[in-house]
Amino acid sequence: MKMIIVTTVEEYKSQVFKLFKQAGVDSFSESDIDGYKSAAPFMYTSSWFPSEKGGAASNMFFSFTEEEKVSELFKLIKQFNEKSETTNPIRAVELPIERTV
């Protein structure tokens, strides 16, 4: 059993759903998050409304699944990122699960 965490910008949300389905990952959770990159200090004060949220609309997915499905998902994500011309690739991590209850 493995845990996978996948993050992406909002525009790739539906693509992540498709990649999960192709890999056979049928059960997962999703949450809306704000993504940030390091910005030059002048960027923090350049907004007309500095109190506004400055993050990019993003999503985080996670699932507890079998190792072979994780391997397939990583292969599919790698293929997607290689074909995509973006500075925001889909990112994924795999975590081992030592115990469950």
Cα–Cα dist 77/74, whole Å: 5
Q: Report the pLDDT value the prediction gives residue 36, as an integer from 0 to 100.
A: 80
Domain ranges of the chain: 1-34+74-101
- Which three-class secondary structure string do you get for 10-68? HHHHHHHHHHHHHHCCCCCEEEEEEECCCCCHHHHHCCCCCCCCCCEEEEEEEEEECHH
Give the tens place of pLDDT for each residue, 57-93: 899 999 999 999 999 999 999 999 999 988 889 999 9
What the block records as the tokens of 81 is 């990122």
Predicted model pTM = 0.81
- For helices 13-23 and 67-83, give the axis angle rounded to 10 degrees: 140
Q: Report the pLDDT value the prediction gives residue 41, as an integer from 0 to 100.
A: 52
Q: Report the pLDDT value the prediction gives residue 100, as an integer from 0 to 100.
A: 85
